[in-house]
Amino acid sequence: MPQNQRPIWQILTDAAEPGSEVTLTCDECFAIMEHLADQAVRGVDPDMIYTAIRRYIAHCPDCNEHHKQRLAELEAEIALWIKES
């Protein structure tokens, strides 16, 4: 992990603080998006941190594109899994 990147647990803890406005780096945003995607597939409600992600990806086209691509990949995997079931 790069020295300036916080661990996911720290970002999630910071984001859970009342009135929190967590600021992320691209690397942190990618890590959190991967975490959220994995949690969403398991049925976990990601609202606790998703506000910070939405705020960040609104200003970072690279993170926004990565997020859209990852969601599309996961949706395709789920559709395939359902089809095969």
Q: What is the mean pLDDT of residues 65-74?
A: 85
Q: What is the average pLDDT across 45-53?
A: 72
pLDDT for 1 equals 45
The mean pLDDT value for 23-30 works out to 80
Query: What confidence score (pLDDT) does residue 48 get?
Result: 64
Task: Tell me the whole-structure pTM to 2 decimals.
Answer: 0.47
Confidence band of 4 (pLDDT split at 50, 70, 90): low
| Residue 16's pLDDT band (cuts 50, 70, 90) | low
Indicate if the alpha-carbon torsion angle 70, 75, 81, 83 is positive or negative. negative
How many other CB atoms are found less than 10 A from the CB of residue 37? 16
